[in-house]
Chain A
Amino acid sequence: MSAPTHRGAAFGVETIGMTKIFGALNALDDVSIKVRPGTLHALLGENGAGKSTLVKCMMGFYQPTRGELLVDGQEAVIRNPRDAMRLKLGMVYQHFTLVPSLTAAENLIVSRPDCPSVIDWKREIAALDAFMATMPFKVPLTTPVSGLSAGEKQKLEILKQLYLDRRFIILDEPTSVLTPDEADEMLGLLKAMTARDELTILMITHKFREVTAYADEVSVLRRGRYVGGGLVGDLSTADMARMMIGDTEIRERATRREQPSQPVALELVALHAADDEGLPAVTSVDLKVRAGEILGIAGVSGNGQSELIEVISGQRPLDDGRILVHGKPYEPVRTEMDRLKVFSLQEEPLRNSAVPRMSVAENMALRTFDKPPIASLRWWLSPAPMRARARELIDRYRVKTPSTETPIENLSGGNVQRAVLARELSGDVDVLVVANPCFGLDFASVAEIRTQIMEQRNRGAAVLLVSEDLDEILELADRVAVMSGGRITLNAPIAATDRAAIGHAMAGGH
């Protein structure tokens, strides 16, 4: 179905005055962007800036309230995703849309609108091989997708769009699950395809490095509006950042206070743990975190970091190894957490560290509800001191909530994270375990949360920080460890390593 060459197949897409109103919310306000044929166009913006709304309007998932779409210079009416497909518009989502139990070949075939009712596998595999031969990257065809690496899955998603002959592809944060090397390889190949006029790409991203290295043009959205853009060569990173953030006031970051080396507070000795399938996920992990130090664990998601955090916080059984706090064996149970002052800030707080339907006050009291002043005689709980304490924390940590009695799930992501942070950091912290604390948050919340973590370090807490965001690690950590395939592949002071070495270790290099 796909001819081997597509030189000149690229076409451009333009939005004119695109507006989308959801009830009282103006998600998209008069946005006009022009993506020229054969270019890689970056769409920058914070969470909630309207990037997804814009591309969903282009792809027919939403109907714009007002505005027009020009495809290849012609006005196009896209009522549903099928219309978009017919016009050769395709999208690769941030979350994979491959079926895990199907093989790569099955995924490709089933995605075809003209999928035959009975599949002649011999012929189809031959056709797929011929198609793959014309493509810049390869993926094994007969392995179930669940057995592919994140990089291979991302490539397969893009191959799928090309297989379906989509020549205008929207990529939503395409490199979030890739190692820096994989990201560079993939973006390099895609850039070459656009340069050959085979393809036009609109890429949603928040990584300036990728914009400056690969994009031809950029458009920046803020609060649903187009706030600027142009040729990437004409703009500095600072210009783009200013457009993205606008005049939002950002709390000043806590500075790293230099302090003498202190004793080891948290020590992991030969930890082993299995994942949900029973396969080894964490393999002989040895780490030491000193008091007053942030140890950052970098790595591509799915390399055992989540399992490691779950083991330390008591959500997953430890198969082998020991956890020591201040040199004493530690079991992650409530009494010991309390006694040894171990606290944690988990990823996806609504899933891992808050009860979504309980109120903000109750969630904030999860560590203290069985102690005075909330509890008397260890079992009688009084709501008044609970609420009073919640009000105090809400003020101190600037949690935006209608009241202390609002279910925590009704809060925005940043405020849920602030509320959990308030609970975990309000006491005396000796050991703090943090996982992807800023995932999906806006600039102001990110700055605030990183400041809080740094303050804990300066106060003398030992901080274990797991993050998929390498920039976060480079900003906060005193020491970097890299996890790949469940093992620690690098462990060095931040000054003794660099982005390239970390990227190499992420890919499993030693």
Chain B
Amino acid sequence: MTDDPILTVLVAMFAGAIRVSTPFLFVSLGECLTEKSGRINLGLEGTLVFGAMSAYAVSYLTGSPWTGVLAAGLCGAGFGALHGYICKLPKVNDIAIGIAMMLFGTGLAFFFGKGFIQPTAPRLEAIDFGFLVSNPQLKVALQINPLFFIGIAAAVVLWWAFRNTRFGLVVRMTGDSSATARAMGTSVDGVRFLATTIGGFSAGIGGAFLSLYYPGSWNEGLSSGQGLMAVALVIFSRWNPIACVGAALLFGAAGALGPALQSIGVSQGYHFFNAAPHILTLAIMIASTSPKRSLKGAPGELSITR
């Protein structure tokens, strides 16, 4: 059974979908919330990298990986808050600030992270669901990090909150029509500040997963643009948190394609298959947009749709 190469690849992609998708999921949920409030934060790539560095560093220094995760979240929230604050100032473009924050975040992470490339920090433990199956490969695949479940729970909560809570309705209102929000006495900048901050928190946790679980170490090439791809992923999932889960799994599976093929001996085009998520991003953007119509479901206040 394990000799069937196609099955091996599929199992590897399934494992990859679970393992690689988590950072995509956290970043895209953060971005989803931010964009629903009417702002784009491209800086989440920087937040992700800084989150990875800070999680690793704190885990190493305290010996507790979960403290690292919390630290990453808080650093991410800090970056989000900074983005939110700067965008409040007059005549500031959120996309330009996002790019600046992306460079700032990665640069700062490299600066502070130099000393943590060598040491080994305690990593997050996975929960083993391997007892459910007999296939050895699946046993490995079913070692699932609790953050994966937290991410899915967060997506469901976010989806529910968008329709059933005051906070959710206010965020959607602010993102779709700031004039209305203002007419109702809601502080548009305040809501966006909060949404960007929470979004940053989520992206920071995504970074913690990178350095503390998979790949599970801190180095400067840790993120290969996951933070940016997550932005595309939000558009692909039409600003729906539940769809974000599916899209993250799809991107995760695509990311596992290269290593999976290599494991069955297909080494030709290894780098090409490794680029699958990037190609997927491009393909999805082309397939899901059209010069003739505007994006359906896009929050009306986003600077890309206005």
Please give me the residue from chain A that is nearest to B174 by CB atom.
A99
B270 close to chain A: CB less than 8 A:
no
Chain A: residues with Cβ within 8 Å of the partner, total of 29
Known contacts A274-B292, A277-B294; A102/B173 CB under 8 A: yes
Tell me the complex Cα distance, A463–B285, Å. Answer: 42
- Closest beta carbon of chain B to A132's beta carbon, Å: 19
Query: A331 to nearest B CB, angstroms?
Result: 18
By secondary structure, the A interface counts as loop
B residues within 8 A CB of A80? 185
The answer to whether B172 and A102 have CB atoms under 8 Å apart is: yes
A225 to chain B, nearest CB (A): 28
Q: Is the CB of B180 within 8 A of A278?
A: no
Nearest CB in chain B to that of A106: its residue:
B169
| Count, A-B residue pairs, CB within 8 A | 69
Chain A residues within 8 Å of B296, by CB: 277
Q: B166 contacts which chain A residues (CB < 8 A)? A: 110, 115-119
28 contacts between A and B (CB under 8 A): A80-B185, A93-B183, A98-B177, A98-B180, A99-B180, A100-B176, A101-B172, A101-B176, A101-B297, A101-B300, A102-B172, A110-B173, A115-B166, A116-B166, A117-B166, A117-B167, A119-B164, A119-B165, A119-B166, A121-B164, A274-B293, A275-B293, A276-B292, A276-B293, A277-B293, A278-B290, A278-B292, A317-B292
Taking the closest CB of chain B, its distance from the CB of A221, in whole angstroms, is 23
Most buried by B among A99, A100, A118: A99
Task: Tell me, in angstroms, the Cα distance from A85 to B184 when the chains sit together.
Answer: 9
The smallest beta-carbon distance between B187 and chain A, in angstroms, is 12
Digit string of B108-137 for contact with A (CB within 8 Å is 1, else 0)? 000000000000000000000000000000
Bound CA–CA A106/B177 (angstroms) = 14
Docked CA distance A355–B114 (Å): 51
Contact with A110, one of B184, B290, B293, B299 (Cβ below 8 angstroms): B184
B contact residues around A118 at 8 Å (CB): 164-166
Choice from A102, A276, A278 contacting B176 with Cβ under 8 Å: A102
0/1 per residue, B147-180, Cβ < 8 Å to A?
0000000000000000111110110110011011
* Complex-state Cα separation, A82 to B187, whole angstroms: 13
Contact, CB under 8 Å: A102 / B164: no
| A81 contacts across to B, CB distance below 8 A | 183, 185
Complex formed: what's the CA distance from A276 to B306 in Å?
Answer: 12
Complex formed: what's the CA distance from A317 to B292 in Å?
A: 8
Q: Which residues of B contact A101 (CB under 8 A)?
A: 172, 176, 297, 299-300
- Which residues 79-102 of A sit at the B interface, judged by CB distance below 8 A? 80-82, 85, 93, 95, 97-102
Q: B183 — nearest CB in chain A belongs to which residue?
A: A97
Determine the chain A residues whose CB is within 8 A of the CB of B292 once the complex forms: 274, 276, 278, 317
Which 4 residue pairs are nearest across A and B when measured between Cβ atoms?
A278-B293, A110-B169, A97-B180, A276-B294
B window 57-99: CB within 8 A of A: none
List residues of chain A with CB within 8 A of the CB of B170.
110
Chain A residues whose CB sits within 8 angstroms of the CB of B180 once the complex forms: 97-99
The residue of chain A having its C-beta at the shortest distance from the C-beta of B297 within the complex is A101
A412 at the B interface (CB under 8 A): no
**Complex-state Cα separation, A95 to B172, whole angstroms:** 19
- Quick check: is A109 within 8 A (CB to CB) of the other chain? yes
For residue B176, give the distance in angstroms from its CB to the closest CB of chain A.
5
Q: Given A115-B166, A278-B293, A317-B292, are A99 and B185 also a contact pair (CB < 8 Å)?
A: no
B185 and A82 form a contact (CB under 8 A): yes
Other contacts beyond A101-B176, A118-B164: 18, CB < 8 A = A81-B185, A93-B183, A97-B180, A97-B183, A97-B184, A98-B177, A99-B177, A102-B169, A110-B169, A110-B184, A111-B184, A117-B167, A119-B165, A121-B164, A274-B292, A274-B293, A276-B294, A278-B293
Contact of B165 with A117 in the complex, beta carbons under 8 Å: yes
- Minimum CB–CB distance for A314 against chain B, Å: 15
Chain B residues whose CB sits within 8 angstroms of the CB of A110 once the complex forms: 166, 169-170, 173, 184
In the assembled complex, the Cα of A102 lies from the Cα of B299 at a distance in Å of 11
Contact A99 B293 (CB under 8 A): no
- From B177, B297, B299, name the one whose CB has the most chain A CB atoms within 10 angstroms: B177
- Residues 104-142 (chain A) with a chain B CB within 8 angstroms: 106, 109-111, 113, 115-119, 121
Bound together, the chains give a CA A93 to CA B182 distance in angstroms of: 13
Could you tell me the distance between the alpha carbons of A151 and B123 in the complex, rounded to whole angstroms?
60
CB < 8 Å: which of B164, B169, B294, B300 contacts A100? Answer: B300
Q: Which residue of B lies closest to A274 (CB)?
A: B292
- Determine how close the nearest CB of chain A comes to the CB of B15; give it in whole angstroms: 37
> Chain A residues near B177 (CB, 8 Å)?
97-100
Q: Select from chain A the residue with minimum beta-carbon distance to B296.
A: A277
Give the chain A neighbours of B290 by CB distance below 8 A: 278
Chain B residues lying within 8 Å of A97, measured Cβ to Cβ, are 177, 179-180, 183-184
CB 8 Å contact bits of B39-69 with A (1 = contact, 0 = none): 0000000000000000000000000000000
The chain B residue sitting closest to A91, CB to CB, is B183
CA distance A469 to B181 in the complex (A): 30
* Chain B residues with CB under 8 A of A277: 293-294, 296
B53 nearest CB across to chain A (Å): 36
* Inter-chain contacts of B167 with A (CB < 8 A): 117
B224 to chain A, nearest CB (A): 34
B178 to chain A, nearest CB (A): 10
Q: Which residues of A258-298 have CB atoms within 8 Å of chain B's CB atoms?
A: 274-278
Flag if B169 contacts A109 (CB, 8 Å).
yes
- For the complex, what is the distance from the CA of A274 to the CA of B291, rounded to whole Å? 12
Residue of B179, B184, B185, B293 most packed against chain A (CB within 10 A)? B184
| CB-CB nearest in chain A for B298 | A101
Count chain B CB atoms within 10 A of each CB in A106, A274, A317 and give the residue with the most.
A106
A125 to chain B, nearest CB (A): 12
* Contact partners of B184 in chain A: CB under 8 A: 97, 110-111
The residue in chain B whose Cβ has the minimal distance to the Cβ of A277 is: B293
Min CB distance, B62 to chain A, in Å? 35
Residues facing A in B261-306 (CB within 8 A) are: 290, 292-294, 296-297, 299-300
In angstroms, Cα B180 to Cα A85, docked, is 15
